[in-house]
Amino acid sequence: MAEITAALVKALRDKSGVGMMDCKKALQETAGDMEAAVDWLRTKGLSKAAKKADRVAAEGVVALATRSDGVGMTAAVIELNAETDFVARNDGFQATARKIAAAALTVDGNVEALRAETVVGGETISAMITNLIATIGENMVLRRSACFAVAQGAVGAYVHGAVPGAPDLGRIGVLVAVEGAGDQETLRDLGRNIALHVAATSPQSLSVDDLDPAAVVRERAIFTEQAIESGKPPAVAEKMVEGRIRKFYEEAVLLKQTYVRDASMTIEELVAQTAKTLGSPVKVSGFVRLALGEGIDKNAGDFAAEVAAMTGG
């Protein structure tokens, strides 16, 4: 029997287009015989799934899962993509997204680790998705995952564009981690209200310190050039730049943003108000916003036209 090396597994993956774990399994089942391993993958329907892997999957769902941990809480959000909105409405696809989100509660946002997690019955998430691809006939991708665990406090969750009858599935999923020793339900409501705000505003960072330094440098350079071109004296131009940088912070930084449900306060002030009500410190320690298909190049193929051509529509 040939030794099942990483190089051998990679070679089979390059040859078949199937995932690493399935390639390793195929080689183990066929004593390291490359051609036999390819046939084994075809027998299992995995190579069929692999042929679809180059097709753009920009539809699907974002799914949330939460868990109470006594005085703390854990919440996870995942993005499971498919090629068409039609498949995203499939009950089996949605059930799979829920299982993945539940499993993500035990994985710290690592997608590769999540793919290797097992569900009821001992099947890995990777295998579960592959089997669903073979059954439904569309490419599917577990693209992103995030998880927050708060030892004391709550994680607010919000889904925008929720699937009818399924408030845990939708097109945008947001988690906001809130730390505090006060009433957990109040902290959870605060987190959810901020999550709704994040869904609407898509901030770049939680605080000024968290902003990408390169983004600040870029904005400052633009503002400086604009100030110079205005012909203002250097001292006035410098003040103009600083004013515009403050405005940039107010637009890009969550805690500095004006609260969408009450324009009289910022998110920072909303948190302070809640802390005053509870009589104990409250801190927003993190947030994540996953928007379905965000950043995917959707021009690689017109699947609506493809379906119409196949059906004669």
Q: What is the pLDDT of residues 139-171, one digit of tens each?
A: 899 999 999 999 999 999 999 999 988 999 999
CATH 1.10.8.10 fits 6-51, yes or no: yes
pLDDT at residue 18, rounded to an integer: 72
Cite the residue boundaries of each domain of the chain with CATH code 3.30.479.20.
59-207+254-300
Cite the residue boundaries of each domain of the chain with CATH code 1.10.8.10.
6-51
How much is the average pLDDT of 69-92? Answer: 93
Which CATH architecture does the domain made up of 212-252 adopt?
Answer: Orthogonal Bundle (1.10)
CATH of domain 59-207+254-300: 3.30.479.20
Cite the residue boundaries of each domain of the chain with CATH code 1.10.286.
212-252
Q: 18-27, 75-84, 146-155: which range is least confident on average?
A: 18-27
pLDDT at residue 48, rounded to an integer: 52
Q: What are 236-246's pLDDT values in tens digits?
A: 878 888 888 88
The answer to whether residues 56 and 296 touch, using CB atoms and an 8 Å cutoff, is: yes
